[in-house]
Amino acid sequence: MNIKPLRPDLSAHLKKHQLVKKFSKAKALFEQDSTHPSLNVEVLEPKHLKIYSFRLDLKYRALFIVVEGEAEVFAVTNHYK
């Protein structure tokens, strides 16, 4: 599954938190195999909203929805806040 290009504010957020390389690696892995165990893809609660996340590292996760067969990342969050 492809990931749509990021909004400028998300790209800036990745740069600010030094996550560009980690996001690029996770993105490539996700596009190759979205079920890869190291991504730890999961559906978030409440499940009916169909919001998913995948792991960038132990601290950060990318939140996404699926739109027309593509993943659209709408946030990168600190997993423990």
| Residues 24-68 pLDDT 10s | 999 999 999 999 999 999 999 999 999 999 999 999 999 999 999
Contacts of 81 (CB under 8 A, 6+ apart): none
The answer to the question of residue 1 being in a domain is no
The answer to the question of residue 2 being in a domain is no
The answer to the question of residue 3 being in a domain is no
> What's the domain range around 31?
8-78
The answer to the question of residue 52 being in a domain is yes
The answer to the question of residue 25 being in a domain is yes
Domain count, the chain: 1
Q: Is the pTM of this model over 0.75?
A: yes
**CATH label of the domain that carries residue 34:** 3.30.2310.20
**Cross-strand partners of 52:** 43, 64
> How deeply is 54 buried, as exposed, middle or buried, from its count of CB atoms within 10 A (0-12, 13-18, 19+)?
buried
Give the pLDDT band (50/70/90) at residue 80: confident
